[in-house]
Amino acid sequence: MPRTGSLRSARAGLILILLSAWASGAQAELASSYAAVQQAFLREDFETTAVLAQRFLTQSPAAPETRRVWLWLALSLHRLQRSSDALGELDQLKLRLAKDDGLWWSEVLFWEGEVCRQSFQMVRAARAYRHLLEAYPESTWGPQAEIGLGLVLLHQQDVRGALPHFHRVALREESGAVAVDAKLFEGFCHLRLQDYREAADMLEPLLEQAQGPELIAQTSLYLAEAYGGLKRYDEAAAAYLRVREAAPESSWAGVALFGLGWTRYQQARCEESVPLVTQYLARPAGDHQTEALFAQGSCLLRAGKDTEAMASLRQLMAKDPGHPLALDAGVVIADFHRRWGQLEAAKSVLHTLLRLHLDAASRERLQVPLAAIALDAGNPVQAKTIYELAAASANPAIRQAALNGLGEAQIVMGDLAAARHEFERAAAVAPETPLGAYAAYQLGRIHLQDGAFDDAVTMFERVAAMPQASIADDAKLTLVVAYLNQGDEERAARALEGLRQAPANALLAARAAYYAALLALNREEPAEVLRLCQEAIAGAPRTDEAFEAQLLLIDVQSSEQPGDAMARRLREWYQSGTFSARHRAKLAVRLGDLARQADAHADAISWYDEALRIWPTDRGESMYRIASCYEEGGDLETAMAWYQRIDQPPWRVRGGLALAKLLERQERFDAAEAIYQELAAEPIPEANVVEERLAALRRERRESAQ
């Protein structure tokens, strides 16, 4: 019996040894399997992680490590673009969590929110984040969940709702990746809300702390956009460059390439802008293709490359017709047609825009270019009526543009005092905008015309110092004219030398060459005049300066040739040249003047009639010249008929005065006096002249009756 008992005891001991060995082996195998899953997950081999995790869960469903492996499985499936499967695994994991296991619940809820947010299931994502924040407010996952909830709201375009979530985390977290993310996204929210000062204040210190190229690039990009919103364009450009230096191959670098090109466009530095936006457009399609096309087209237009400019703007309209910039592009195209005298084409573009953009704001926006067409068609009264409607807009930009238009209409109507008033109103709306700069520039021109040269200089200097305004170049050149009118040729020469040596603005330098040619003409240096005129023509084609340079060139070259040499060369240029309608009409008037000087009144009338047909904006002046030709040729009845037909201010008044004088010569005093009386009753600048002439006529009639 003892022996039997000893055997049983030995067998029992052997079984215990075997069980212990088996348990140790199973634990070692479990640890090895867990380590394999962990290592695959850490090296981001998600295919292997998913396979090993599923095997682990099948073989060891009750192991303590199961929850962690299950979470790795879900996250790996998500990274493998299998988000639905990932969420299914998270749901299974939640069923196995104890209700009071706050540590695990908060982590799983956070990852549920992340997977849902990144797979665009925003409602479920927000629900998971809120569940975590409400049920486990002290969890270490809370700040990240708060950021996640803010990102969901951003995706839903609720920027104001998102901002407090980022702000709370930024206040609580002093340092670390979570704090950086919170501050970065808070700055982004301020950007979206156009609170540019707040965005810059948030992002500037963040950039100083940023570590790593991606974070530096992203922060710099947001900061550049804030500076752009504040019109601190040089700082914006520097920030965009920093993006490209920090992470040249990142997605941020592509956006920065566009941003830098757009900034240079805003600064009117088109020679720098065009290659940048062209390079951006050559990349795979980005988010800013429409804006880049607009900047490219606008800059090419400023550079006189009309064909390329129109191609870019038309591509924009075809590519994205509903974009707000498509409306702006259409307006630019219409304005291009208008400047070339193609008024029907301009109206066609605007009417197309009216069909595409039916909202009230867009229609209001199109009133201004429609009024400009009416003005160019020789209908200043109609233009004035349309501008007055637009000037009642609640939109400051539209109101400012309309007030500028009213000023231009008053100039055409010959009332400089009224024009000054409208431009002053326009400038007061927003002095620092491009439209405000344009109003100030026009005020400077009125001062120049009035002989108030010091006031003109002050105004042009102010506009010239506004680098973001495209009119600044015009102000710099007209400033030279103002200096010359002041008699300060030395100062004018210094200013021109500075403009001609500006390496970043070749177009401005070429335009300045024409004014330098005028100075050379005063110095009686014909060879230098010719050289400078050719420089202006080659470097600034289709500008006013190139046109005037060609006229001067022909004048100088013809000065030592037979008497009709200049007229002959101008006719050749007229027949072969490419002109805007305004320039072609101006050349026709010049040819008419030459014919008139030669007493070739029939030829002169033909040229003036041509100008009248091409450029009806100045029809009053053309009609007055035609009438004068008939008068000089002795056909007084036809002359009086033409004077009487003039209906465009201020030429209507001048035509009336000329008609009255002819009637006096024919001793038709009653008819002459009636014209003077009618004109004297009108609120016109020439009222004093009319009253003096009326008084003189009455005095002469009394004296002759005695």
Tokens at residue 183, please? 């501050």
Gap between the Cα atoms of 683 and 415, Å rounded:
10
Residues 318 and 138: their CA atoms lie apart, in Å, by 54
- Which of 332, 358, 384 marks a domain boundary? 358
Q: Before 324, cis peptide (omega within 30)?
A: no
355: its two tokens:
């069909």
Helix 581-597 vs helix 601-614: crossing angle, to nearest 10: 170
CB atoms within 10 A of CB 356: 14
How many CB atoms are located within 10 Å of the residue 395 CB?
13
Phi-psi domain of 304 (left: phi exceeds 0; alpha: psi -120 through 50; beta: other): left
The pLDDT value recorded for residue 21 is: 46
- Residue 410 to residue 186: CA distance in whole angstroms: 49
The pLDDT of residue 339:
83
Task: Say if residue 127 is exposed, middle or buried (CB neighbours under 10 Å; 0-12, 13-18, 19+).
Answer: middle
287 is a domain residue: yes
Distances 366 to 303, 321, 335, 336 between C-alpha atoms, Å: 25, 15, 11, 15
Domain count, the chain: 2
pLDDT at 467: 66
Task: Please report the pLDDT score of residue 61 as a whole number.
Answer: 81
Where helices occur in 357-413 by DSSP H, the ranges are 360-376, 380-391, 396-412
CA distance 414 to 416: 6
Does residue 277 lie in a domain region? Answer: yes
Domain boundary among 336, 358, 380: 358
Phi/psi for 298 (5° steps) reads -65, -40
Please say whether the beta carbons of 429 and 436 come within 8 A: yes
How do residues 484-520 score in pLDDT, each as one tens digit? 999 999 999 999 999 998 766 788 999 999 999 999 9
C-alpha 48, offset from chain centre: 51
Give the domain-ending residue among 311, 328, 358: 358
- Residue 158, both tokens: 């609720």
Under 8 Å between Cβ of 235 and 201: no
Around Cβ 416, how many Cβ atoms within 10 Å?
17
The whole-model pTM stands at 0.68
Concatenated DSSP letters of 102-145 = HHHHHHHHHHHHHHHHHTT-HHHHHHHHHHHHHH-TT-TTHHHH
Q: Please check whether residue 689 lies inside any domain of the structure.
A: yes
Per the domain annotation, does 264 fall within a domain? no
Query: Where are any strands of DSSP class E within 145-289?
Result: none
In the structure encoding, which two tokens stand for residue 587, read together? 């050349």
Residue for token pair 């009756």 = 705
Alpha helices by DSSP H, listed for 615-681, are: 619-632, 636-645, 651-665, 669-680
Q: Considering the domain boundaries, does residue 58 fall inside one?
A: no
Residue 705 CB: number of other CB atoms within 10 A?
6
Q: Please, what is the Cα angle at 225 between 223 and 231, to 5 degrees?
A: 105
Domain boundaries, position 663:
615-706
CA dist 230 to 194, 200, 225, 637, Å?
Answer: 9, 9, 9, 65
The 3-class SS string of 145-183 reads: HHHHHHHHHHHCCCHHHHHHHHHHHHHHCCCCHHHHHHH
**What span, in angstroms and rounded, lies between the C-alpha atoms of 517 and 623?**
33
Among candidate residues 579, 548, 539, the one with its CA nearest the CA of residue 341: 579
Sign of the CA dihedral with 64 first, then 54, 117, and 219 last? positive
Assigned token pair, 200:
């810059």
Domain assignment present for 211: no
Task: Give a yes or no: residue 673 inside a domain.
Answer: yes
Strand intervals (E) in 384-489:
none
3-state SS assignment for residue 451: coil
pLDDT at 249: 86
| Regions in the chain scoring below 50 on pLDDT | 1-11, 13-23
Residue-level pLDDT at 5:
44
Q: Output the domain CATH number for residue 319.
A: 1.25.40.10
Write out the H or E segment, with its range, that includes residue 646: none
Q: Work out the angle at residue 370's Cα, subtended by the Cα atoms of residues 367 and 374, and round it to the nearest 5 degrees.
A: 130
Q: Are 659 and 644 in contact (CB under 8 A)?
A: yes
Q: Which of 644, 595, 642, 602 is nearest to 622 (CA)?
A: 642
- Alpha-carbon span 650 to 552, nearest angstrom: 29
Flag whether 190 is in a domain: no
Q: Cα(485)–Cα(479) distance, rounded to whole angstroms?
A: 10
Residue type, 390: A
Give the torsion sign (CA, 373, 378, 384, 386): negative
